[in-house]
Amino acid sequence: MRNHGNSLREIASHIKKSYSTISRELSRNSTGKSYSPSKAQEKYKQRKGNCGRVSLLSNPQVFEVVREHFCEDLWSPEEISNRLAVEKYPVQISTTTIYRGIFNGLFDNLFKSGSSSAVRHLRHHGKSRHNKAYQEKRGKIPIPNKIHDRPREADNRVEIGHWEGDTVLGKSGKACVVTLVDRKSRYLLIGKAAKRTSEAVTDTLSDLMKLWPGRSLTITPIRGKEFAKVQCLTDKFGTPFYFPDPHSPWQRGTNENTNGLLREYLPKGTDLDSITDRRIQAYAEQMNNRPRKCLGWKTPYEIFFNVVLHLI
């Protein structure tokens, strides 16, 4: 209508819009003395794409820090964001911004192994659990001590040396990884057992307990048959073992959570027979240097050894 000589008020009256709306539209989107609806729409889309705040991930230095710790160290977005704050990094980036970058594909194809989709590398994506009908079929074990008799110092996490123990299975179900997690610091010790038998697991536990003499005050393992012969470790090291109630994984929540983190490095289906001890220890080192929310974004290593690290 404007191209045919109609006034702004005539156009506004005809399409039932205010005069100011028509005037603003023409001043924004007219080309010379003419107005094209299609070109006006193109200009709108261009302005729409340019609006809003620029993402902090467009900063190459910030992107590289996030990429390194997410794609190489396998830190979560929350761990990255809060560790930056702890170390007073010059640029602060929120957990939400990092997640948005992940879901927008900014970190796709940047992982050394596994899925090319960065979303697949988030901790809980595709996580599966046993259903309610699942039953343990490997028999029962003698219970020397129950968790309810465990020292109060272990329950309250007031000192280093109270551990939780478990095993992580691989693809074949033969080799397994034995894990010990300190309840106070979340410091992780791991070793590979050739088989998930009580003999093999006991030998691996013995090797782990030798690493820090005097720092194994108590151990709370999973209620599994592979821990049936731990009494010999009590006789050898003087460390009592306290077993949880049946079907009560929350009583060993520290170990359950840590094993979930370990699955980021050793996903279900991994052939543990082909994984070297050196590689497994490298995973433990990475995990012990990951900042934890429950530790005020300090790392297990910092708490266990009472030191301060600079990781960013």
Q: Looking at the structure, tell me whether residues 268 and 288 fall in a common domain.
A: yes
Q: In total, how many domains does the chain have?
A: 3
Q: Looking at the structure, tell me whether residues 100 and 216 fall in a common domain.
A: no
Q: Looking at the structure, tell me whether residues 35 and 71 fall in a common domain.
A: no
Under 8 Å CB-to-CB from 247, ≥6 apart: which residues? none
- pLDDT at 168 (0 to 100): 93
pLDDT in tens, 19-48: 787 778 777 777 766 777 777 777 767 766
Lowest-confidence segment of 19-23, 244-248, 281-285, 286-290 by average pLDDT: 19-23
Query: Are 182 and 160 in contact, with CB atoms under 8 Å apart?
Result: yes
- pLDDT at 254 (0 to 100): 95
Q: Looking at the structure, tell me whether residues 157 and 280 fall in a common domain.
A: yes
Residue 134 belongs to some domain of the structure: no
List the CATH number of the domain containing 186: 3.30.420.10
What is the C-alpha separation between 83 and 257, in angstroms, rounded?
19
What is the C-alpha separation between 148 and 307, in angstroms, rounded?
33
Residue 257: is its pLDDT beyond 90?
Answer: yes
Residue 133 belongs to some domain of the structure: no
Angle, vertex CA 185, rays to CA 241 and CA 200, nearest 5: 40
Lowest-confidence segment of 137-141, 220-224, 282-286 by average pLDDT: 137-141
pLDDT in tens, 87-104: 999 999 999 999 999 998
Tokens of 158: 């007031």
Measured between alpha carbons, how far apart are the two ends of the chain, in Å? 61
When comparing pLDDT for 269 and 254, which is higher?
Answer: 254
pLDDT in tens, 132-174: 555 555 556 778 899 999 999 999 999 999 999 999 998 766 8
Nearest alpha carbon to residue 301 among 184, 214, 165: 184
What is the β-pairing status of strands 162-169 and 176-182? antiparallel
Residue matched to tokens 């370990």: 262
Query: What average pLDDT does range 212-229 have in this prediction?
Result: 92
What is the C-alpha separation between 75 and 66, in angstroms, rounded?
9
Q: Looking at the structure, tell me whether residues 109 and 179 fall in a common domain.
A: no
Share of the chain above pLDDT 90, in %: 59
Rank 59-63, 110-114, 132-136 by mean pLDDT and report only the highest.
59-63
Query: Are 206 and 182 in contact, with CB atoms under 8 Å apart?
Result: no
Residue 207: is its pLDDT beyond 90?
Answer: yes
Query: Are 141 and 238 in contact, with CB atoms under 8 Å apart?
Result: no
Q: Looking at the structure, tell me whether residues 203 and 283 fall in a common domain.
A: yes
Q: List C-alpha distances in Å: 32 to 4, 10, 35, 126.
A: 15, 21, 8, 56
Query: Are 283 and 262 in contact, with CB atoms under 8 Å apart?
Result: yes
**Residue 39: helix, strand or coil by DSSP?**
helix
What is the C-alpha separation between 80 and 93, in angstroms, rounded?
9
Residue matched to tokens 């219970």: 143
Burial 230-249 (b: 16+ CB within 10 A, else e): beebeeebebbbbbbeeeee
What is the β-pairing status of strands 218-221 and 162-169? parallel
Residue 79: is its pLDDT beyond 50?
Answer: yes
Q: Looking at the structure, tell me whether residues 97 and 245 fall in a common domain.
A: no
Tokens of 191: 């070793």
Residue 3: is its pLDDT beyond 70?
Answer: no
Tell me the residue range of the domain where 112 lies: 56-121
